[in-house]
Amino acid sequence: MTFSKLKEIFLTTLKWILICFLIGILSGSASAFFLAALEWVTQFRIHHDWIIWLLPFGGLLVGLSYHYWGESVAKGNNLLLEEYENPTKVIPIKMAPLVLLGTLLTHLFGGSAGREGTAVQMGGAISDQFTRLFNLDNSERKILIILGISAGFASVFGTPLAGAIFALEVLHFSKINLKSIVLSFLVAYAAYFTVEFWNVKHTHYTIPVVPEITIPNLFYVIILGILSGFAALLFSRSTHFWGSLFSKNIKYPPFRPFIGGIFLAIAFAGFGLTKFSGLGVPVIVDSFSNANPWYDFLLKILFTGFTLGAGFKGGEVTPLFFVGAALGNALSLIIPLPIALLAGLGFVAVFSGATHTPIACTIMGMELFGIQPGIFIAIACIIAYFSSGSVGIYKSQIVPKNKFQFFKFQNPMGNINTNINSKK
pLDDT tens digit string along 378-419? 999 999 999 999 889 999 888 776 665 544 444 433 443 433
Any idea what the Cα angle at residue 251 is, between residues 247 and 256, rounded to 5°? 60
Pairwise CA distance, residues 49 & 220, whole Å:
40
pLDDT band at 91 (very low <50, low <70, confident <90, very high): very high
| Beta carbons within 8 Å of 39's beta carbon, 6+ residues apart | none
Per residue in 280-304, pLDDT tens?
999 999 999 999 999 999 999 999 9
User: How sure is the predictor about 422, in pLDDT bands with cuts at 50, 70 and 90?
Assistant: very low
pLDDT of residue 247: 97
Task: Give residue-wise pLDDT tens across range 303-337.
Answer: 999 999 999 999 999 999 999 999 999 999 999 99
Rounded to whole angstroms, how far apart are CA atoms 163 and 152? 8
Contact status, residue 209 vs residue 341, Cβ threshold 8 Å: yes
64 residue type, one letter: L
Tens of pLDDT, residues 179-193: 899 999 999 999 999
pLDDT value of residue 172 = 75
- Going from the C-alpha of 383 to that of each of 36, 218, 352, 356, 363, the distances in angstroms are 35, 11, 9, 11, 15
All domains in the chain, ordered by first residue: 3-197 (1.10.3080.10), 215-404 (1.10.3080.10)
Question: CB of 144 within 8 A of CB of 127?
Answer: yes
Nearest to 391 by CA among 403, 380, 409, 383: 403
- Average pLDDT for the chain: 93
Mean per-residue pLDDT, 101-124? 97
Question: Is residue 240 predicted with pLDDT exceeding 50?
Answer: yes
Burial tier of 90 (Cβ tally within 10 Å: 0-12, 13-18, 19+): middle
Q: For the chain, what percent of residues have pLDDT higher than 70?
A: 93
* Sign of the torsion angle spanned by Cα atoms 180, 185, 186, 189: positive
Taking the C-alpha atoms of residue 147 and residue 136, their distance in angstroms, rounded to an integer, is: 14
Query: Under a CB-based contact definition with an 8 Å cutoff, are residues 344 and 376 in contact?
Result: no
Instruction: Indicate the helix (H) or strand (E) that contains 418.
Output: strand 417-419
Lowest mean pLDDT among 70-74, 273-277, 378-382, 414-418: 414-418
Q: How far apart are CA 89 and CA 66, in angstroms?
A: 19
Q: In whole angstroms, how far apart are CA 111 and each of 105, 310, 367?
A: 9, 10, 29
Element (H, E) at 410: strand 408-410
- CB proximity list for 357: less than 8 A, separation 6 or greater: 165, 166, 169, 170, 351, 385
Dmax (CA) of the chain:
74
The whole-angstrom separation of Cα 144 and Cα 148 is 6
pLDDT in tens, 145-199: 999 999 999 999 999 999 999 999 998 765 677 889 999 999 999 999 999 999 9
Is the CB of residue 19 less than 8 Å from the CB of residue 185? no
What value does the mean pLDDT take over residues 207-222? 97
Count of residues in the chain: 424
At residue 423, the pLDDT reads 37
pLDDT number for residue 175: 67
CA-atom Rg of the chain in angstroms:
21
pLDDT per residue as tens digits for the range 333-362: 999 999 999 999 999 999 999 999 999 999
pLDDT at 192: 97
Which helix (H) or strand (E) element contains residue 131?
Answer: helix 130-133
| Percentage of the chain lying above the pLDDT 90 cut | 87
